[in-house]
Structure 1
Amino acid sequence: MAALAADAGHEVVGTRVTKAVPDTRVRDRLLDVRDRYAVQRLLEEEAPDVVVHTAYRQDSWAVTAVGAANVALAAAAAGARLVHVSSDVVFSGAAVTYTEDAEPDPVSPYGAAKAAAEVAVEAVAPDAVVARTSLVMGRPDAPMERRVADLLAGRATGVLFDDDVRCPVHVDDLAAALLELAFSDATGVRHVAGPDAVSRFEIGELIAHRDGADPSVLQRGSRREAGVPGPLDVRLDGTWTQSTLRTRLRGAREFLAQPFS
């Protein structure tokens, strides 16, 4: 998203913990979102118009939940508009399909942290956008893309779950939608995910066909039977959000049929 914002002529500041921001147009700053006062100081120094918060760690409540609260507090104090990126893991999958007004019911520690982050953002910055998304794909370094590539090449072993269903979004579509939301008058929860509900196994098959690989190499498995914590079938219904956006959010079956751009 930083590159897209720079392309649009915005002055962009990126934050990091270790790895430098690769785009030379983006001025990067070291920041630990767990440090409330460091977050406050940085926003006071930079005085941004918009803050897009994407930081998380699946194994860290402090980064995911406390960090989001720290960013929301600092953004509110600085008078900056906030776009907070959340996730479909705030849902259990019991209802399968979830619209923007559905109440979170997480079943994993990471899901609980993301749900807590949403509560903090909505309490501290009621005019913020909470943008829930799903599997982010469309680049070779995306986690799901890497996993499938390793399986197809024999660099890894294991299964892809056929009962773990999500609504993947292309990284470029997500970035464009977040930028659009950042400079709109939208508030509240938005579902920024693709329209196709696909299992991880089906994603693997789509990637194999795209890349000219043999999909029969991929092994099918069940998340339920494996006992891996987390939701199973979670489908973000973003029909309403899509109707408010100029950005078209493509489905996985569409964008995984095309080579990397």
Structure 2
Amino acid sequence: MARAAAAGWDAVGTYVSAACATATVRLDIRDRDAVRRVVAAVRPDAIVHAAAGRDRNDWAATADGAAHVALAAAGVRLVHVSSDAVFSGRLGEYGEDAVPDPVYAYGAAKAAAETAVRAVDPSAAVVRTSLILGDGNGAHEILTRDLIAGRVRGALFTDEIRKPVHVDDLADALLELAAGDYAGVLNVAGADAVSRYDLGVLVARRDGLDETAIPAGSLAALGLARPADLRLRTGRARALLSVRLRGATEFVRSGRG
């Protein structure tokens, strides 16, 4: 919402539980009729759908909700935010043409959401992204600080590879796509492939915390059934978009991630 306002958009944000300065219209996307009413009332030129269930097993919000938004958006430019979680990680690198093969509930719901959006509106842009960081407020940043402080139990895995993106870069890409006509899947992620553990180390160093206090772990050693190596190929996005998709090594070390 902040990036939209800075770019000159007259943006309207929705919320489901608590209103805030950037989200003033209540909307539960699990309610198909409510989605239609809000879209009809706002009459937007474009919709950026970034919502998902608060519970990662919330199929009704993540999958059904995306279908409701796509149906209500008929005739309106739609940009749908998806995830690298639609993949198993067995291939390592994934281009836009890769077929989803999720291995856990959230990934399955996001894959179903993609299918619904593309079936209802073939002209929509479906943006697959990765870990999102944002000046200390990203989920991975918060988890890193909590692990170091001992507020939560767990570990950051050395063999869980992602391509983190800065929230400003992702937001600018979504807005650029909202103003354009790109149709289909587009990978929008950062330039660097790093492990969750190494990303935690970068965050700790930026925040002046003890990086040696970060518990390290291995998906393979624990036998966890979740994707290990999810590297999204971003050559198409780099050629298409004017926004520069920075790598975590750059934006975290610079203090802007």
Give yes or no for TM over 0.5. yes
- Residue 61 of structure 1: aligned partner: 59
> Do the aligned residues in 2 keep the contact of 1:51 with 1:81 (CA within 8 Å)?
yes
- Residue 87 of structure 1: aligned partner: 83
Whole-Å separation in 2 of the counterparts to 1:220 and 1:154: 14
- Residue 228 of structure 2: aligned partner: 232
Deviation at 1:9, TM superposition (A): 2.1
> Do the aligned residues in 1 keep the contact of 2:135 with 2:255 (CA within 8 Å)?
no
Deviation at 1:195, TM superposition (A): 1.4
Whole-Å separation in 2 of the counterparts to 1:245 and 1:49: 20
Q: Secondary structure at the match of 1:256?
A: helix
Structure 1 residue runs of 5 or longer lacking an equivalent are none
Deviation at 1:260, TM superposition (A): 4.0
- Residue 4 of structure 2: aligned partner: 5
Q: Secondary structure at the match of 1:12?
A: coil
- Residue 14 of structure 2: aligned partner: 15
> Do the aligned residues in 1 keep the contact of 2:147 with 2:153 (CA within 8 Å)?
yes
Of 110, 113, 120, the residue aligned with 1:117 is: 113
1:98-151 superposed Cα distances (whole Å, 9 cap, x missing partner): 011111111111111101100110010110000000000023221100011112
1:170-200 superposed Cα distances (whole Å, 9 cap, x missing partner): 0000000110111012111100101111111
> Do the aligned residues in 2 keep the contact of 1:195 with 1:237 (CA within 8 Å)?
no
* The 10-residue stretch of structure 1 (39-48 or 138-147) with the greater mean CA deviation from structure 2: 138-147
Whole-Å separation in 2 of the counterparts to 1:16 and 1:170: 22
Of 235, 243, 247, the residue aligned with 1:247 is: 243
- Residue 47 of structure 1: aligned partner: 43
Structure 2 residue runs of 5 or longer lacking an equivalent are none
Whole-Å separation in 1 of the counterparts to 2:220 and 2:45: 44
Counterparts of residues 171-250 of structure 1 (less than 5 Å)? 171-250=167-246
Letter in 2 for 1:18: S
Whole-Å separation in 2 of the counterparts to 1:44 and 1:224: 49
- Alignment of 1:96 with 2:85, yes or no, is no
- Alignment of 1:148 with 2:144, yes or no, is yes
Q: TM-score, normalised by structure 1?
A: 0.94
Letter in 2 for 1:253: T
Letter in 2 for 1:166: R
Matched residue pairs, number? Answer: 255
Deviation at 1:214, TM superposition (A): 2.0
RMSD: 1.3
Of 135, 140, 144, the residue aligned with 1:139 is: 135
Of 129, 134, 141, the residue aligned with 2:125 is: 129
Whole-Å separation in 1 of the counterparts to 2:25 and 2:220: 42
Whole-Å separation in 1 of the counterparts to 2:150 and 2:183: 46
Whole-Å separation in 2 of the counterparts to 1:115 and 1:50: 22
